């Protein structure tokens, strides 16, 4: 018996690039680079163009990533165009990239017609910190998520009440000078949390319950705690590894599972743009050994033609 598997890239991938309230050239690279490495032949970008113009940084990132097919279209209609095609846009096989709630809902509806990366929700960070931390650093890390969206979530878990109070005060101080203060304050007030535990030994179980997109371990022994966390999109080890470094140049992809999806899914990678085809081959002797068992199972399931397609070869 010959058994094997072959990995091949999808023929065409659509990259949704936000361009409404904010433009993210980093997301272009995070989506396009693994697709190129996978060997995808056709990369298509769809991005909204407020006032008819495209963000020059987004265009530069698309050019660097080798994306030459770019359409000025955004929202749910862009997802539909990529999935079903139009007179000017040929359909793709997979759609990736972040977007608002309407884009996420559209991706959910076209799944099955095309593949998708995930149903992305608001960004989130969970920070586990001991007392050996600068409250200003931790506050800045919490607000780095809060400024994304009013629905973003920032959580601090610590075993030191004095640190918890200092961080909460520092958040307020930094909010007052943050350009996106309105968005970040709404996020912090509605979804932020500071949790004081009796011991940091309790933190990994809480982290697994949250299954956050980003988990920062600002502790003396980050590797020890990381080993006890099973559900996280990405883990950032130590106080000198802010989540923002992963957003841009740290290495791992910043397209990560949100809304507790880290329990069953992973961040975007080259494999998301590839599919596996399994291969099997039987000689006459191998079929003679395996065939009777397969035919018996077919009989048990009432699939007579299945059984016959095997036995007709065994009875020659």
Contact 143, 149 (CB under 8 A): no
Check if the beta carbon of residue 58 is closer than 8 Å to that of residue 19.
yes
pLDDT, greater one: 111 or 253: 111
Chain segment 206-236, per-residue pLDDT in tens: 999 999 999 999 999 999 999 999 999 999 9
Which residue among the candidates 214, 231, 243, 254 is catalytic per the annotation? 214
Q: Mean of the pLDDT values across residues 81-86? A: 98
293 contact partners, CB below 8 Å, separation of at least 6: none
Q: Is residue 305 part of a domain?
A: yes
11, pLDDT greater than 70:
yes
For residue 30, give every residue at least 6 positions away whose Cβ sits within 8 Å of its Cβ, in sequence order, or none.
Answer: 253, 254, 255, 268
Number of domains the chain contains: 3
Q: What is the DSSP letter of 114?
A: B
What angle (nearest 5°) sits at the alpha carbon of residue 135, between those of residues 130 and 139?
110
Query: Is 55 a residue whose pLDDT tops 90?
Result: no
CA separation (Å) from 3 to 6, 8, 65, 213, 274?
Answer: 11, 17, 36, 37, 20
Q: Is the pLDDT at 19 greater than 90, yes or no?
A: no
pLDDT tens readout for residues 34-50? 999 999 999 999 999 88
State whether residue 279 is helix, strand or coil. strand
Does the residue 252 lie in any domain?
yes
Catalytic-labelled residue, pool 124, 147, 170, 213:
213
The pLDDT, as a whole number, for residue 257 is 93
Question: Quick one: 218 and 147 in the same domain?
Answer: yes
Grade residue 100 by pLDDT with cuts at 50, 70 and 90: confident
Q: Is 213 a catalytic residue?
A: yes
CATH of the domain at 175: 3.40.50.1980
Torsion of CA 255, 259, 263, 267, to 10 degrees: 0
176-192 average pLDDT score: 96
Q: Are residues 214 and 287 in the same domain?
A: no
* Domain's final residue, options 80, 103, 118: 118
Supply the DSSP string of 47-97, one letter for each residue: E--GGG---HHHHHHHHHTT--EEEE--SHHHHHHHHH--SS----SEEE-
| pLDDT (0 to 100) of residue 101 | 87
Q: What tokens does 235 get?
A: 């883990």
- Please enumerate in sequence order all residues whose Cβ is within 8 A of that of 278, keeping only pairs 6 or more positions apart, or say none: 3, 4, 5
191 belongs to the catalytic site:
no
Confidence of residue 52 (pLDDT cuts 50, 70, 90): confident
Are 190 and 241 within one domain?
A: yes
The domain of 62 spans 2-118
Residues 253 and 187 in one domain: yes
pLDDT confidence tier of residue 308, bands split at 50, 70 and 90? very high
Mean pLDDT of 131-159: 96
Bridge partners of 234, per DSSP, are 214
Mark whether 57 and 151 lie in a shared domain: no
Determine, yes or no, domain membership for 271. no
pLDDT, tens digit (0-9, with 9 covering 90-100), for 238-292? 999 999 999 998 878 889 999 999 999 999 999 999 999 999 999 999 999 999 9
Statement to judge: residues 107 and 133 lie in one domain: no
| One domain, residues 26 and 105 | yes
Q: 88 and 167, same structural domain? A: no
133/111 same-domain check: no
Predicted pLDDT of residue 316: 67
Displacement of CA 84 from its chain's centroid (Å): 23
Same structural domain, 104 and 54:
yes
Give the confidence band of 83 by pLDDT, cuts at 50, 70, 90. very high
**Number of Cβ within a 10 Å radius of residue 117:** 22
């Amino acid at each position: 018996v010959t058994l094997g598997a072959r990995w091949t890239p999808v023929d065409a991938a659509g990259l949704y690039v936000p361009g409404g309230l904010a433009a993210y050239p980093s997301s272009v690279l995070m989506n396009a680079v693994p697709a190129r490495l996978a060997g995808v032949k056709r990369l298509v970008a769809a991005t909204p163009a407020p006032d008819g113009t495209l963000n020059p940084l987004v265009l530069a990132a698309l050019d660097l990533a080798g994306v030459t097919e770019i359409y000025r279209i955004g929202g749910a209609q862009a997802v539909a165009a990529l999935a079903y095609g139009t007179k000017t846009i040929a359909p793709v096989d997979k759609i990736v990239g972040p977007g608002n709630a309407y884009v996420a809902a559209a991706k959910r509806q076209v799944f099955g017609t095309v593949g998708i990366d995930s149903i992305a929700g608001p960004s989130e960070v969970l920070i586990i910190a001991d007392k050996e931390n600068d409250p200003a650093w931790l506050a800045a890390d919490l607000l780095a998520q809060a400024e994304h969206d009013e629905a973003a979530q920032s959580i601090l878990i610590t075993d030191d009440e004095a640190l918890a109070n200092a961080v909460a005060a520092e958040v307020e101080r930094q909010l007052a000078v943050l350009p996106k203060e309105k968005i970040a304050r709404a996020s912090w007030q509605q979804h932020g949390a500071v949790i004081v535990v009796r011991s940091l030994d309790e933190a990994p179980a809480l982290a697994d319950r949250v299954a956050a997109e980003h988990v920062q371990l600002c502790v003396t022994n980050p590797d020890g705690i990381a080993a006890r966390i099973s559900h996280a999109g990405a883990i950032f080890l130590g106080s000198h590894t802010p989540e923002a470094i992963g957003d841009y140049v740290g290495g791992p992809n910043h397209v990560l599972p949100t809304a507790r999806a880290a329990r069953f899914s992973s961040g975007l990678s080259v494999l998301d743009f590839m599919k596996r085809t399994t291969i099997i081959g039987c000689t006459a002797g191998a079929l003679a050994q395996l065939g009777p068992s397969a035919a018996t199972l077919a009989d048990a399931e009432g699939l007579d033609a299945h059984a016959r397609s095997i036995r007709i070869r065994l009875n020659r």
